[in-house]
Structure 1
Amino acid sequence: MNYIMSRYSIAFLVAIPLVRCAVVGRAPRASSFAGSTTTFEFPPPNVTATIPDPNFPVGSILGFAGPTPTGNEAEALATAPAFPKVETAYPLIQPDTADHQGSTFNVFHSWGNLAPWFSVDSSDFGLPSASPLIPEGCGITQAFLLHRHGARYPTGGSAPAAFAAKIHQAAAGAGFTASGPLAFLNDWTYKLGAEILTPFGREQLLELGVGFRVNYGDLLKGFNDLPVFRTTTEARMIDSALNFAAGFFGVQQFAESYHQLIEIEQEGFNSTLQPGNVCPNSGNSIGEFGGVQSSKWSAIFTPPIIKRLSWFITGVNLTTSDIIGMQQACAYETNALGFSSFCDLFTEEEWKQFEYFNDLSFWYGDGPGNPTAAARGIGWVQELVSRLTQTRITDFDSAVNKTIVTSPILFPLDQPIYVDATHDNVLSTIVTALNFTSLTRNGPLPTDHIPADQTWFSSRVAPFSSNLVGQVLSCPASSQPTHIRFLLNDGVLPLTGIQGCAANKDGLCELPSFIAGMQARIAEVDFQFDCFANFTIPIPDNIVDGRFPPALRNMTG
């Protein structure tokens, strides 16, 4: 019996590649346009909207608006019995995996910085009993929002674009044939633009604005002038800011309800919302170290995927870069088009491996493991302290823009609500500069395996529309602020890494202690050295606070 079973097993295993080859052989050849880029622009060419158009007068001219009394402001975080979590990404289709392991695994959450933002449980940050709701007996006096832009198309020269070019080159040349799970490549085209918001990305910021109004709207009662919110000049940054404002103030009202400060995002211009432009080391091999470290991991986890998928394609030799491009294409296509055929090519484990690929990239490129991270993020921390203490910044040894922060018009210090828009890498550097050590307690991250006790996840730190909220509280409730705490994508963060902040089940730190701790952090971060000095990253890289180790400075050139 054993002998018969053994012969049967051997025969079955030998037959597998023969069957697959036969399937590939019968599959139709790919279309010559496979992998080509397709685009569409609207409005149609040669059509220009006339604003205002006398044929289509606006509502304010027509009148007849009906009753327009407003209600009172909401403050759901202080009045509601429960907190609504962000758990879906409508209208995106929830992807499946190649092995269909079960409904509990969410592929969205394994996309790293390409994930749609979702509510993180405070327990994931080490505070199992904390809630985003205002702690009992406390009142909220001020809110600071730092958010990332919404979902966008890939940046120029992205891995998905490179994969598409490779597919099209093969299709237009000798040709290729794909079958089975890869059969869609035979007539697949690249439909992604570059860098601007997708429709879903616009929705994310609109909803973020609505949610912020519901949770913090009551703070508007403390304004004596129009708020000043900040963003930068890139198209996706302006669109994100305007969509947030439309959600927060209302479509017809937002243009007259606040001032939008737009900071120049270009090399050589100071801006804490894109500090890398004045930190040269973030643009050389030091800043690119995240790619070096993540590539070590991709070289480990992609070969089995290459071997499995290569059975289903002839005429194209798959590489590690192709696999990363295909996994990124899943995320980008879903965020842009609502669905992607690339998603269920990969198993649950392979998606976890892709998540870790992104985690390594951010840890060592823009997070605690990069020696320029704290220097890049410290300028925003200076601005936070300036706003909390209502004192002007006088030390400009950072990415702080002196023209902006010394102006009471451009940089008011008495707002109950502040809103700043930024990028994923900047948000990561600011989180590092703030020294939220609960995110780094298992660092540094290994490049040859996923640690069991991992605490740094790029999908929790910097997904699309990621939001960091600082809540200034009075405990007990009064008009005088006494405490502060931070929520990262709805998860309450411990502040025990900040000098003077004691452990607290609700993530609270006494405001004077927090300010003193931030002032100490500002003093210890050396922007000039970390951004301009000639040094190499120490190997092994055991940095966990985003600074070049002071003890090693005498070894630099």
Structure 2
Amino acid sequence: MVNILTSLAPYLSILPFVSQHNNKETWQQSHDQTNLLKHCGGMGPYVQGTGYGIPLSLTDTDAAKVDQVIAFARHGERYPTSSVGLDLKRVFEKLKNTKVDAYQGPLSFVRDWEYFVSDDSLLEMETNSSRFSGLLDMYNFGQTVRSQYSDLYKNGTKLPFFAASGQRVVDSAESFAKGFFLGDEKEFEEYAALQILPEKRRQGANTLTTGRSCAPYSKYDGFPSRKTSGIFKSGPFLKKEAQRLNELSPGFDLTKEDVYALLTYCPFELNYRGYSEVCNALSMEAFMGLEYLRDVELWYTKANHPYTLMLGSVYINATLSLMEQGPENLDDQALWFSFSHDTDLLYYLNALTVLDYQTKDLSTKHIDFGRFFKVSELIPMGARIVLERLSASDGEKYVRVIVNDAVIPLAHCHDGPGFSCNLKQLRFLFEKRLKGKTYAEECEVKAKHPQYLSFYWDWKDGRYE
């Protein structure tokens, strides 16, 4: 009998990944669909994007090199917010205080269960323990960037790190910077210039949190109707999961609200402990329902809100301007790092046209399994959007988009090196979408407040407090 692997060897040898994994079970199995982190609705630990298999490194045939990098990242893994924390504590206390005949089934762990938030002062802060530590995640991200783009940093020069003023964001930016300087405290103290942008309306357009400065945005939630039904309104999967748990672990009398709280409890406990018995107790079907609830909510209220393009336009305009100027006109600074919240990354992705792959609104009646828009793929904790400016041998400039370590070609422009988009074409497409509108006008920014983003250019003497 012919050994198929042997007969294919001459061909497999030209495929580095395949030739390194000749074990049949290794390269014929995919674990993405059963990876719980892909279904945590953006509340759980960082997970790489699925992508399209495009190599992160450019090949010799691309005839282009990276000469500028602009990154926009979400803070790292964190504890729940104060409001979510109340809900998690409620369900914890309900189950702990319930007297049952026997601790059995999926909820048998409740007998020895301990709440993972030891002090309320930790709420909303970065986690700093376990394999999913938010601070460690950002530190490692900084190290990776330094390793990958070391030739773009001029040793011994000040480098700014821009952060929205939320403490978890500031802590993430600082941890990233320490990683970038490879743990050298002296270099960090001397060369890292942390620039903190207040999350206040008075910042106008000179901000990393444009939603705070846009009055009309907060007046409209984005939903097509408050009479939405099915999966969004009642969450039938929640009732089904409650029934399953009540049958297998009788006595706790879980409601659909309890199930939702437990589904939320799981990813936040992962952020802190690195493991969670709550996660093990719940079904994958329930997590898929949670994921879709989160996707629907954030699609309408953030990602595809009528004002989202305006909110993201501030960041994209600044990004394109930096790339059009290039390091040669920016004191040789080729690296730009900014840190904010998940919603701000969604605004950015919208204005960048990455979300154009989602060609229709998400259904509020049933799960749309064919959707592109998945919060866990796009904005998990520690999410990062990296834009590379590529200089081709003919002098043309291109932009390549990397979302969570996966190259994402822009839907309407990807014929450049490494599936990048010509910088001039990207500017044209961006301006075409804006139709002459400006953030300051559409968001009714008061004349006394900044009308445009300037901190990338005036950071050396900027005053933002």
Q: TM-score scaled by structure 2? A: 0.77
Match of 1:421, SS state, is: strand
Q: Deviations over 1:461-494 (max 9, x none)?
A: 1011111111101122x8x552111111122222
Counterpart AA for 1:215: Q
CA distance in 2, matches of 1:186, 1:267: 48
Equivalence for 1:352: 288
CA 1:184–1:250 in structure 2 vs 1: closer, same or farther (change >3 Å)? same
Match of 2:320, SS state, is: helix
CA 1:213–1:171 in structure 2 vs 1: closer, same or farther (change >3 Å)? closer
Q: Is residue 254 of structure 1 aligned with residue 185 of structure 2? A: no
CA distance in 2, matches of 1:155, 1:292: 28
Match of 2:418, SS state, is: coil
- Post-superposition shift, 1:226? 1.7
Match of 2:110 among 185, 204, 217: 185
Give yes or no for contact 1:272–1:377 (8 Å, CA) kept in 2. no
Q: Name the structure with the higher helix share.
A: 2
Q: Is residue 450 of structure 1 aligned with residue 367 of structure 2? A: yes
- Post-superposition shift, 1:352? 2.1
Counterpart AA for 1:120: G
Counterpart AA for 2:58: I
Equivalence for 1:361: 297
- Post-superposition shift, 1:213? 0.7
CA distance in 1, matches of 2:431, 2:270: 43
Counterpart AA for 2:115: Y
Counterpart AA for 2:340: T
CA 1:277–1:149 in structure 2 vs 1: closer, same or farther (change >3 Å)? same
CA 1:169–1:513 in structure 2 vs 1: closer, same or farther (change >3 Å)? closer
Match of 2:51 among 111, 119, 122: 122
Give yes or no for contact 1:110–1:354 (8 Å, CA) kept in 2. yes
CA distance in 1, matches of 2:95, 2:401: 51
Q: Is residue 214 of structure 1 aligned with residue 150 of structure 2? A: no
Match of 2:78, SS state, is: coil
Match of 1:133, SS state, is: coil
Counterpart AA for 2:146: R
CA distance in 2, matches of 1:292, 1:254: 53
Q: Which moved more, 1:209-218 or 1:109-118?
A: 109-118
CA RMSD of aligned residues (A): 3.3
Higher relative contact order (CA 8 A, sep 6+): 2
The aligned length equals 402
Give yes or no for contact 1:164–1:189 (8 Å, CA) kept in 2. no
Equivalence for 1:141: 67
Equivalence for 1:153: 79
Give yes or no for contact 1:231–1:273 (8 Å, CA) kept in 2. yes
CA distance in 1, matches of 2:439, 2:31: 47
Give yes or no for contact 1:486–1:492 (8 Å, CA) kept in 2. yes
Counterpart AA for 2:291: E
CA distance in 2, matches of 1:310, 1:524: 57
- Post-superposition shift, 1:326? 0.5
Q: Deviations over 1:241-276 (max 9, x none)?
A: 111011111322212123111111234433532112
Give yes or no for contact 2:350–2:356 (8 Å, CA) kept in 1. no
Match of 1:351, SS state, is: helix
Match of 1:132, SS state, is: coil
Equivalence for 1:490: 405
Match of 2:270, SS state, is: helix
Q: Deviations over 1:108-155 (max 9, x none)?
A: 1111212322332432xxxx5x32112432111101111111000011
Equivalence for 2:172: 240
- Post-superposition shift, 1:353? 2.1
- Post-superposition shift, 1:508? 1.5
CA distance in 1, matches of 2:436, 2:277: 49
Once the two structures are superposed, the pairs formed by residues 53-452 of structure 1 within 5 Å of their partners are 105-123=34-52, 128=53, 130-136=54-60, 137-158=63-84, 161-168=86-93, 179-192=104-117, 193-199=122-128, 200-221=133-154, 225-251=157-183, 252=185, 253-270=187-204, 271-286=206-221, 296=232, 299-311=235-247, 316-368=252-304, 370-390=305-325, 415-441=333-359, 443-452=360-369
Counterpart AA for 1:348: M
- Post-superposition shift, 1:505? 7.7
Equivalence for 2:5: none
Runs of 5+ consecutive residues of structure 1 not aligned to the other structure: 1-80, 84-100, 392-410, 534-557
Give yes or no for contact 2:100–2:250 (8 Å, CA) kept in 1. yes
Match of 2:400, SS state, is: strand
- Post-superposition shift, 1:384? 1.1
- Post-superposition shift, 1:455? 1.0
CA 1:224–1:334 in structure 2 vs 1: closer, same or farther (change >3 Å)? closer
Give yes or no for contact 1:467–1:489 (8 Å, CA) kept in 2. yes
Counterpart AA for 2:391: S
- Post-superposition shift, 1:438? 4.7
CA 1:306–1:269 in structure 2 vs 1: closer, same or farther (change >3 Å)? same
Identity of aligned residues (%): 24
CA distance in 1, matches of 2:32, 2:49: 18
Counterpart AA for 1:241: A
Give yes or no for contact 1:117–1:463 (8 Å, CA) kept in 2. yes
Q: Report the structure number with the largest CA radius of gyration.
A: 1
Match of 1:113, SS state, is: coil
CA 1:228–1:171 in structure 2 vs 1: closer, same or farther (change >3 Å)? closer
Q: Which moved more, 1:382-391 or 1:310-319?
A: 310-319
Q: Which moved more, 1:247-256 or 1:420-429?
A: 247-256
Match of 2:149, SS state, is: helix
